[in-house]
Amino acid sequence: MVFRKKHLLGLEELSAEEITTILDAAAGMKEIFSRPVKKVPALRGKTVCNLFFENSTRTRTSFELAAKNLSADVVNFNVATSSVVKGESLLDTARTIQSMAVDIVVIRHSCPGTPLLLSKRLNMSVVNAGDGAHAHPTQGLLDLFTMREHFGSIKDLRVAIVGDILHSRVARSNIFGLRKLGAHVTLVGPSTLVPREFKEMGCEIEYDLKRGISNANVINLLRIQLERQKKNLFPSIREYRLLYGLQEDRLSWASPDVLVMHPGPVNRGVEISQEIADGPHSVINEQVTNGIAVRMAVLYLVSGGGAGSGVQVGG
């Protein structure tokens, strides 16, 4: 299938076929960056700007590596030392970047809808690297990619997403992607963090960890956002760990070949034990590696690389 989208704003906006096209392209990209010389000229002459208004380790670094693997030039915009601190608006900042002949802007912002706004006002391609609690599409895609690598297909997988669903852009992007590709999704956590409205997205809801991860093929643990504790959404970290923390003796509730996933950053000893995070079921580091392949595919496809001829990357 040909990919015709100029922007990547969220997985809600993509069809199952478009998601599959990105995952197929990412498989080719993973082969490229596993080579000793992990560079192809696919985006030579293009410029990618990482415009991050929120902190990031994984997403920003892997977008930079992905762009460099495709031979693009990369600019990392540093908000703290920019004219944003003098009061320059988001749109003026973005227009300024566009005027420097940037082709793709990768944006992370705390305000939901910021990537959509930029996509309407600018000519550059816009890639959402996380907007508030709304969407984190490349995280969703790299999670799907990792599941597909292990199980061959997403269809009919039983996936439990555990933790702070309410505030999680990762959960939303996973839910849209998983449901479109035919997985069964169960959301697990305290009722304050797992509202019943999520049933409308085609998910099951469980407040009991044992029932929630029973026979799961995949357990995707979300970071407990410690800053939320002040809002009385759960009584204490200790109680959260007792009720929802994934510890060795609880893994037997899931399928014997269960994959344990986490988007990072990880709170070891809270949502996941040290032993499981570093154990044989954990694919946390694979997720990070796959993130580069998925972001290479996204940058390539939004820049028109797949149009007309399917996905073919030279080199």
Stretch that binds ligand CP, among 32-40, 111-119, 160-168, 258-266 (CB under 6 A): 258-266
Question: Out of 125, 139, 217, 282, which residue is the one contacting ligand CP (CB under 6 A)?
Answer: 139
Stretch that binds ligand CP, among 35-43, 66-74, 213-221, 260-268 (CB under 6 A): 260-268
Residue 228 in 3-state DSSP?
A: helix
Where do we find the tokens 């991050």? 52
Stretch that binds ligand CP, among 54-62, 86-94, 201-209, 300-308 (CB under 6 A): 54-62
Closest to ligand CP by CB, 61 or 96: 61
Question: Out of 28, 113, 132, 264, which residue is the one contacting ligand CP (CB under 6 A)?
Answer: 264
How crowded is residue 12: how many other Cβ atoms within 10 Å of its Cβ?
16
Closest to ligand CP by CB, 59 or 146: 59
Q: Provide long-range contacts, Cβ within 8 A and 24+ apart, for 73-78.
A: 73/46, 73/47, 73/48, 74/47, 74/48, 74/49, 74/50, 75/47, 75/48, 75/49, 75/50, 75/100, 75/102, 76/49, 76/50, 76/52, 77/49, 77/50, 77/51, 77/52
57 near ligand CP, rule: CB under 6 A: yes
Min CB(151)–ligand CP separation in Å: 21
Q: Name the residue among 288, 279, 284, 240 with its Cα closest to residue 262.
A: 284
What number of chain residues touch ligand CP (CB under 6 A)? 10
Min CB(64)–ligand CP separation in Å: 12
Min CB(303)–ligand CP separation in Å: 22
CB-CB contact of 276 with 250 (8 Å): no
Question: Out of 21, 47, 50, 59, which residue is the one contacting ligand CP (CB under 6 A)?
Answer: 59
Where do we find the tokens 């599409």? 137
263 near ligand CP, rule: CB under 6 A: yes
Q: Which of residues 177-216 bind ligand CP (CB under 6 A)?
A: none
Closest to ligand CP by CB, 60 or 158: 60
Closest to ligand CP by CB, 56 or 98: 56
76 near ligand CP, rule: CB under 6 A: no
How crowded is residue 249: how many other Cβ atoms within 10 Å of its Cβ?
7
Min CB(71)–ligand CP separation in Å: 23
Min CB(284)–ligand CP separation in Å: 10
**Residue 306 phi/psi, 5° resolution?**
-95, 0
CB-CB contact of 32 with 265 (8 Å): no
Closest to ligand CP by CB, 58 or 150: 58
174 near ligand CP, rule: CB under 6 A: no
Closest to ligand CP by CB, 265 or 269: 265
Q: Which of residues 91-130 bind ligand CP (CB under 6 A)?
A: 130
58 near ligand CP, rule: CB under 6 A: yes
Token pair in block for residue 244: 């929802």
Q: From residue 271, give the alpha-carbon distance in Å to each of 206, 221, 258, 267.
A: 16, 7, 17, 6
Min CB(11)–ligand CP separation in Å: 15
Residue 122 in 3-state DSSP?
A: coil
Strand partners, 221: 162
Residue 118 in 3-state DSSP?
A: helix
The residue ranges that bind ligand CP (CB under 6 A) are 56-59, 130, 136, 139, 263-265
